[in-house]
């Protein structure tokens, strides 16, 4: 029999309203008692008495046994989540930066207080990848996990390659539609998919990794020369987070733009959609596809977590217990395209080998092998204006 949930919700933005829209169509054993919001003066679609700016009205209410956290501020979200778990309340969150940054501490809090933190909505919207990694793949040997984890950057790239728009025009359209923020660097710079990759790596490989140590380079330096190169080779460019076990004890993690061939299943993942590609020893290759953003898709993932809490569901983090010898590593070579402006760059960045060089009046690029360690060490000079780096197909 399901347990009744009395919910306190932080945030009533796009995802919060999307979640409420779904809940009101269902006959579920739950009640939303209170919403904590930041702006008390904003007009709401629900009665005013349901809203407050006082966090303690939820966190110190003994009748509320479940906290749903859907705010943008990662630091505030962490404090809310930490206090809720410590006071015996279960938590559902969709804040990928907060979870990625503090996952080890949050896991310890759950174990200490016997509470549950679920966060399916934090990774790839409506795609149920976390629960599958926890349950379906719990005894599987995972070779790699990659995909398209960010709908904003994928929308921009789709407009560029399918409709011939410039990067600037595609970005502006994404901002107009609400897919990208006024300052879009979290998406186009690869930070958002990096936080999601950090969470995925935890459930896939049993790793707690500081996201600040993971390489992320984005599509924000993309220009017409790179697009022309891709078209000449019949490639598209996608922003790809990648996790791969490279030995019995090491896993590499990084986020880079990648040239994708037509035979890749990711080639036709377009617009704001996401796709997760899992390659495993026994299950072979499996692909998850769906909406990666939006109030209703993400709201559906949040609701699935809420529903699971009615039956006492918790992440068991089994791979953390069984994979003590696995560690995050950077001793991995990649085949890369580097379009650059200043000749001094090639003096400062050490390629292991170069197979192709191109010079013209307007653009220069090299293709060669370089270690992940070298890219991390030199990322600041590689990522300067006038340069663009992307991985070649493998």
Contact between 250 and 329 under an 8 Å Cβ cutoff? The reply is yes
Which residue segment(s) compose the domain that 166 sits in? 139-291+325-391
Listing DSSP states for 167-210 in one string gives HHHHHHHHHHTTSS-SSTHHHHTTHHHHHHHHHHHHHHH-----
Residue 9: per-residue pLDDT? 96
- Give pLDDT < 70 ranges for the chain: 1, 322-324, 394
Rg (CA), the chain: 22
Whether residues 248 and 313 fall in one domain = no
Domain-ending residue, one of 307, 322, 337:
322
Same structural domain for residues 107 and 222?
no
End-to-end CA separation in angstroms for the chain: 50
If phi > 0 it is left, if psi is from -120 to 50 it is alpha, else beta; for residue 206 that is left
pLDDT reported for residue 324: 66
Place of tokens 């410590």: 86
Output the pLDDT for position 100: 98
CB 305 within 8 A of CB 92: yes
Output the domain CATH number for residue 376.
3.30.360.10
Do residues 92 and 9 both lie within one domain? yes
Kindly state the helix (H) or strand (E) to which residue 10 belongs, with its residue range: strand 5-10
Q: What is the DSSP string of 100-153?
A: HHHHHHHHHHHHHHT--EE-GGGSSTT--HHHIIIIITTT--EEEEEEE--HHH
The answer on 329 and 237 residing in a single domain is yes
At which residue do the structure tokens 């709908």 appear? 151
The torsion angle over the Cα atoms of residues 337, 152, 264 and 374, rounded to 10 degrees, is 30
Chain centre distance of CA 190: 9
CA–CA distance, 254 with 150 (Å, rounded to integer): 14
- Do 213 and 342 fall within a single domain? yes
Q: Do 125 and 199 have their domain in common? A: no
Co-location of 101 and 237 in the same domain: no
- Is residue 112 domain-shared with residue 155, that is, in the same domain? no
pLDDT for 18: 84
Q: Are residues 202 and 344 in the same domain?
A: yes
196 is catalytic: yes
Position 1 scores a pLDDT of: 56
Give the start-end residues of each E strand in 37-89. 51-52, 66-69
Which structure tokens are listed for 114? 């016997």
State residue 88's pLDDT score: 97
Q: What is the pTM of this model?
A: 0.95
CA distances to 57, 87, 189, 230, 361 from 62, in Å: 10, 9, 42, 58, 69
Q: Do both 381 and 259 map to the same domain? A: yes
- Domain count of the fold of the chain: 2
User: Could you tell me if 304 and 372 lie in one domain?
Assistant: no
My answer on whether 313 and 173 are in the same domain is: no
* Tokens 């000449």 -> residue: 232
pLDDT computed for residue 178 by the predictor:
77
E strand or H helix at 35, and its extent? strand 30-36
Tell me 271's DSSP state: T
Tokens of 384: 């300067």
* Residue listed under structure tokens 């907060």: 98
Q: Catalytic: which of 83, 97, 159, 196?
A: 196
Query: d(Cα 257, Cα 149) in Å, to the nearest integer?
Result: 12
Find the CATH number of the domain harbouring 78: 3.40.50.720
């Amino acid at each position: 029999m399901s347990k009744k949930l009395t919910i306190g919700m932080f945030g009533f933005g796009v995802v919060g309203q999307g979640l409420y829209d779904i809940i009101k169509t269902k006959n579920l054993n739950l009640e939303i008692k209170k919403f904590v919001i930041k702006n008390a003066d904003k007009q709401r679609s629900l009665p005013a008495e349901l809203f407050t700016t006082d966090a303690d009205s939820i966190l110190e209410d003994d009748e509320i046994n479940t906290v749903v956290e859907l705010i943008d501020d990662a630091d505030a979200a962490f404090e809310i989540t930490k206090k809720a778990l410590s006071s015996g309340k279960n938590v559902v969150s969709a804040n990928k930066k907060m979870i990625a940054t503090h996952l080890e501490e949050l896991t310890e809090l759950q174990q200490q207080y016997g509470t549950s933190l679920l966060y399916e909505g934090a990774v790839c919207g409506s795609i149920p990848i976390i629960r599958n990694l926890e349950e379906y793949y719990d005894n599987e040997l995972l070779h790699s996990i990659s995909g398209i984890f960010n709908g904003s950057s994928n929308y921009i790239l789709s407009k560029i390659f399918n409709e011939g728009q410039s990067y600037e025009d595609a970005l502006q359209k994404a901002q107009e539609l609400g897919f990208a923020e006024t300052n879009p660097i979290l998406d186009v710079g690869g930070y958002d998919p990096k936080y999601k990759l950090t969470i995925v790596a935890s459930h896939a490989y049993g790793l707690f990794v500081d996201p600040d140590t993971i390489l992320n380079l984005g599509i924000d330096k993309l220009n017409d020369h790179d697009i022309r190169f891709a078209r000449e080779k019949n490639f598209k460019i996608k922003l790809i987070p990648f996790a791969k076990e490279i030995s019995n004890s090491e896993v590499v993690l990084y986020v880079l733009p990648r040239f994708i061939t037509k035979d890749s299943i990711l080639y036709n993942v377009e617009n704001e959609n996401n796709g997760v590609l899992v390659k495993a020893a026994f299950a072979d290759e499996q692909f998850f596809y769906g909406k990666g953003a939006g109030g209703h898709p993400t709201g559906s993932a949040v609701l699935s977590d809420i529903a699971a809490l009615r039956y006492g569901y918790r992440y068991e983090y089994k791979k953390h217990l069984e994979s003590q010898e696995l560690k995050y590593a950077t001793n991995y070579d990649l085949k890369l395209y580097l379009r650059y402006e200043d000749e001094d760059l090639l003096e400062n960045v050490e390629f292991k080998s170069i197979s192709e060089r191109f010079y013209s009046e307007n653009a220069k690029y090299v293709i060669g092998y370089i270690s992940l360690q070298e890219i991390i060490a030199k990322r600041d000079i590689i990522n300067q204006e006038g340069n663009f780096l992307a991985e070649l197909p493998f």
